[in-house]
Amino acid sequence: MNVREAIETRRSIKKFNGKPVSKEQLNQIVEAGTWAPNHGTREPWRLVGAVGEAMDRMVDAIKEVAVPKWRDMSEEELQAALAKFMQPGAVLFVIVPEDARQKERLEDFSAVSAMIQNMQLAAWEMEIGSCWKTPPFIDHPKFRQTLGVKPGERIISMLQFGHFDDMPKAKPRKPVADILEYFE
């Protein structure tokens, strides 16, 4: 698969089949991410990941902040509420420093976004789907504490990775003529 093909065929996968993603696979995905362009080679990223049995503990941590009334739910209701967190084979939380300087903060956010795209493309090449999510609980103080997020850092993404059975259809994109204006 060449780069253009990976870019054009990659889809956001939201329905995973539960097959695990190994630490080795996740390490390969993250390693590809580290090659993202970043101003001054600051590499302004930090990641917290979970695979295997740690996924169960991560789902428990998510449950505490994403499903506040979980104690009042039946087991069936709870499983339904947590299904979208239980099916991926791995998860990464992407953390970036919140630089007080606006220029550096924007550069760092942009670099981390490029890192995320690199990881998604590397996963796709490995036939592993991914989805970039920004659920509200990533800013919850209890969840930040659970992940060891320090003051001055921000979680900007929950990246889910996993195997899948169904390929979503491509959504149309705007034509280049609609988004590109040449300066003359």
Specify binding-site residues: 10-12, 39, 132-134
Across 95-134, b (16+ Cβ under 10 Å) vs e yields bbbebeeeebbebbbebbbebbebbbbbbbbbebbbbbee
Tell me the C-alpha distance between 40 and 117, whole Å: 19
- The alpha helices in the chain, defined as continuous H runs, are 3-9, 23-33, 54-66, 75-86, 102-125, 141-147, 176-179
- The token pair at 22 is 């190994």
Tell me the C-alpha distance between 98 and 181, whole Å: 33
The total number of residues written for the chain in this structure: 184
Distances (CA, A) of 147 to 58, 61, 137, 152: 9, 9, 12, 14
Q: Give the annotated binding-site residues for FMN.
A: 10-12, 39, 132-134
Strands 90-97 and 46-51: antiparallel
